[in-house]
Amino acid sequence: MKRILFRADAKPSIGIGDLMSLINLSFYLNPREWECFFMIKSYPAAIKLVNRVRKRNIFFLDELISIESEVSEINRVVQIYGIDVLFFEITEQRLSQYIGLVNNVKKACVNFNSYLLEDLDLVVNWDVEADQYMCRSGAPNAKFLLGYEYVILPKQFYELQERKYKDKICKLLIAMGGADEFDFTMKIVEVLIENNIEIGLNIIVGSGYENKAQLEKALYKSQLNFTIKQDVSNMLGEYIGCDLAIGAGGLTASELVASKTPALLIATYEHQISRCKFFSEKGFATYLGFRTFDKHQLIKSVKEPRKVLKDVFFNTQRIIDEVYALV
């Protein structure tokens, strides 16, 4: 039995995409061959997420733990449980700060900033501009998988049948990611309320969303026909069930494109801009802007039915193959 330890966090300021990506990845590994472990800081959003989708082999770190103590705890778990592969997705601090990790383990990461460990064996980056800025010399012996196609999607996205479209938009989905730090969900809803949009509204908020009570209060005062769901386990079903979606530019954007859902994208962090623009230029979605959007364009867009006519290629399986090849 091979053992892999995933290290990632989730909270409003970094979103839940880091942790969700590695959870998605773990579901591809054959449980007869791999035992998966997770180490996360005890942020409420992270605890909610793992409690919903991953019940076993969780190690919690104090939110304020020093990097030195964290490295010691990783090394302890690696040695006690015979971990074969360490897989990081760290955005709260630089991966290069993790000095002193044990040598007798393979190391992989999802990384978007080029701060790497020298002894990494595998680096994944699904930013569309990754090949331009990723410093390969930072991990001279690593295999690099760079480009939008190497996003880690849930298994069911590769089983999607032909998408059917309606001639009229009847249901609008709002999915601004797992944390929505800047509460674009509320900003979009306020515009829809102002314009009294008469379509079914399906709002998905994640485990890190902190303004659900205020959102519900605003919606119950309105005339909108709406539902609100939190911590949805099958987002593909939500995408397929809508006629148009408004989504954030992180992992949500890739899922929308993979499901061929007509989508309006808002980049909520700077690194999402290039991905949103790329998907827009290719005709997979419409880019509304970075931490802003044109209200008139949004209202016009939710009244115009559209189809996604092009297929986009994603290759999560290649990442899995390379993980298997590590040990």
Task: Please report the DSSP string for 195-239 in residue order.
Answer: TT--SEEEEEE-TT---HHHHHHHHHHS--EEEEEES-S-HHHHH
pLDDT of residue 175: 95
User: Encoding tokens for residue 186?
Assistant: 């509320």
Determine the Cα–Cα distance for residues 290 and 258; give it in Å rounded to an integer: 22
E strand or H helix at 132, and its extent?
A: helix 130-133
Domain 2-153+315-326 is classified in which CATH homologous superfamily?
A: Glycogen Phosphorylase B; (3.40.50.2000)
Determine the Cα–Cα distance for residues 129 and 297; give it in Å rounded to an integer: 27
Q: What are phi and psi of 202, to 5 degrees?
A: -115, 115
What residues does each domain of the chain span? 2-153+315-326, 164-301
164-301 and 2-153+315-326 share a CATH fold: yes
Residues of the chain with pLDDT under 70: 54-55
pLDDT of residue 309: 75
pLDDT tens-digit map of 223-265: 889 999 987 878 999 999 999 999 999 889 999 999 999 999 9
Mapped to the 3 state alphabet, what secondary structure does 163-202 carry?
CCCCCCCCEEEEECCCCCCCCHHHHHHHHHHHCCCCCEEE
- 7: nearest Cα among 66, 92, 119, 81: 92
Give the predicted TM-score (pTM) of the model.
Answer: 0.89
Determine the Cα–Cα distance for residues 73 and 83; give it in Å rounded to an integer: 13
Determine the Cα–Cα distance for residues 5 and 57; give it in Å rounded to an integer: 9
Query: Reading across the β-sheet that carries 244-248, which strands appear in turn?
Result: 225-230, 200-205, 171-175, 244-248, 263-267, 286-290
pLDDT of residue 159: 85
**290 Cβ contact partners less than 8 Å away, ≥ 6 residues apart:** 266, 267, 270, 272, 273
Q: Is the torsion defined by CA of 275, 26, 36, 234 positive or negative?
A: positive
Residue 176 near residue 268 (C-beta atoms within 8 A): yes
Domain 164-301 annotated CATH 3.40.50.2000: yes
The count of C-alpha atoms lying within 13 angstroms of the C-alpha of 11, restricted to the half-sphere facing its C-beta, is 11
Q: How far is CA 250 from CA 255, 274, 285, in A?
A: 9, 11, 13
Place of tokens 């987002």: 235
pLDDT of residue 16: 86
Determine the Cα–Cα distance for residues 309 and 305; give it in Å rounded to an integer: 13
- 247: nearest Cα among 173, 171, 197, 149: 173
**253 Cβ contact partners less than 8 Å away, ≥ 6 residues apart:** 247, 263, 265, 272, 275, 276, 279, 285
